[in-house]
Amino acid sequence: MIKTSRDTIIRVQNTLSSLGQVHSRTLFGGYGLSIDKVMFGMVANSGFYLRMNELCPAQSWMEQAEQLMFARRGRSIALNYYLVEETLWNNPVELRKQAWLSLAGAQHERQQREAEKRLKDLPNLTVQMETLLWEAGIKNIETLRAFGAKESWLKLRQINKNLGLKILYALEGALTETHEAALPAEIRRELNEWFQRYTKPLHS
């Protein structure tokens, strides 16, 4: 990670700590920022961009703010992320308010999407996996999120003892909207260690 980007992420984490723990992961050549697995911002080109949507009323600071651009197929597309300038940085109370609006809007958007989606629509999950989850009592995305990847895997394991580490990765990826092969190395390592601890007695 570039030092300036790392410094910006730390600055965001310190300033917005009252909203919750800010996590970062690589995304689109930058770093997506999330609280409780809801992405509300990006760090790109060492700058901090807040995500805005129709639930966030237009704010004066956004009028002159630079939008985050994403190159796709030779075209530049403006994303709904707006650069936080020093003026806003220097007003941490207002910055926290704007970040809260961004987070609340992103949470509402996710709830709307999930209300319309089935388990099979999540990354890594198939119709067969959806059926197995139903058998385990996990019949919607909300329940899957409530249990989390590990507890859900344990419930599936009670039905099918042959399920392995790849399914655990798939569940974690589904919850973070990430292909299981693209899970961050530290997440894969932590899940692998948990899996090995759980399955070790089965092989002793």
HSE at residue 198, side-chain half, CA atoms within 13 A, is 16
**CA proximity to 172, closest of 191, 146, 196:** 191
Residues 25-45, mean pLDDT to the nearest whole number: 89
Cα(141)–Cα(118) distance, integer angstroms: 7
Residue ranges, comma separated, of all CATH 1.10.150.20 domains in the chain are 119-203
Residues of the chain with CATH 3.30.1460.30: 3-116
User: Which of the listed CATH numbers 3.10.20.30, 2.60.40.1120, 3.40.50.11890, 3.30.1460.30 matches domain 3-116?
Assistant: 3.30.1460.30
Instruction: Provide the pLDDT for residue 95.
Output: 93
Which pTM does this prediction carry?
0.56
* pLDDT per residue as tens digits for the range 69-84: 877 677 778 888 899 9
What pLDDT was estimated at residue 56? Answer: 64
Query: Looking at per-residue confidence, does 108 or 157 come out higher?
Result: 157
Sequence-separated (6 or more) residues with CB below 8 Å from residue 148: 175
Among 202, 140, 145, CA closest to 176 = 145
Output the pLDDT for position 1: 61
Task: Round to whole Å and give the CA distance between 162 and 124.
Answer: 18
pLDDT at 202: 47
Q: What is the mean pLDDT of residues 152-178?
A: 93
- Whether 53 shows a pLDDT value over 90: the answer reads no
CATH topology for 119-203 is DNA polymerase; domain 1 (1.10.150)
Residue 55 reports pLDDT greater than 70? no
At 203, the pLDDT band (50, 70, 90 cuts) reads very low
Encode pLDDT of 94-107 as tens digits: 999 999 989 988 88
46: left (phi over 0), alpha (psi -120 to 50) or beta: left
Q: Is residue 57 very low, low, confident or very high in pLDDT (cuts 50, 70, 90)?
A: low
